[in-house]
């Protein structure tokens, strides 16, 4: 059987139950706040607040929007670890390299 002869049909009913979805797919845009996805993470972002210049790059580049602005008094961005998947984009984009990705023990 060739790849061209295989036909798969996916219906809306087939993807409506989140528990039945493979590899944690989101059902609809904006629905990820309903599902804490931080347990997917293998690396944890750790911030060195002494080096942080409060530029907001971590906030801007995070694909899941997990960084929260702690305000002008605190002057840093804090990741919400309930949703952080540990991709490391924040650490890569940080101009002062104050975010280190630390392997998380299981």
Q: How far apart are CA 81 and CA 34, in angstroms?
A: 14
Work out the mean pLDDT of the chain and round it to a whole number.
79
CATH number at residue 52: 3.30.70.20
Range of the domain at 46: 28-103
Q: How far apart are CA 77 and CA 101, in angstroms?
A: 15
Q: Picking from 21-30, 63-72, 94-103, which range would have the lowest pLDDT averaged per residue?
A: 21-30
Of the candidates 28, 32, 33, the residue with the CA atom closest to the CA atom of residue 12: 28
Number of domains in the chain: 1
**31-63 residue pLDDT tens:** 666 777 777 788 999 999 999 999 999 999 999
DSSP 61: H
Tell me whether residue 3 is in a domain.
Answer: no
Tokens (6 digits) for 1: 């059987």
Q: How far apart are CA 96 and CA 26, in angstroms?
A: 33
Q: Which helix (H) or strand (E) holds 93?
A: helix 89-93
């Amino acid at each position: 059987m060739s790849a061209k002869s295989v036909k798969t049909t996916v219906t809306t009913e087939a993807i409506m139950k989140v528990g039945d979805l493979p590899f944690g797919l989101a059902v609809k845009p904006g629905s990820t706040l309903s599902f804490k996805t931080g347990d997917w993470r293998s690396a944890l972002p750790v911030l060195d607040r002494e080096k942080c210049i409060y530029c907001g790059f971590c906030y801007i580049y995070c694909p899941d929007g997990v960084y929260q602005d702690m305000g002008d008094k605190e002057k840093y961005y804090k990741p919400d670890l309930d949703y952080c998947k540990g991709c490391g984009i924040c650490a890569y984009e940080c101009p002062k390299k104050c975010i280190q990705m630390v392997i998380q023990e299981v």
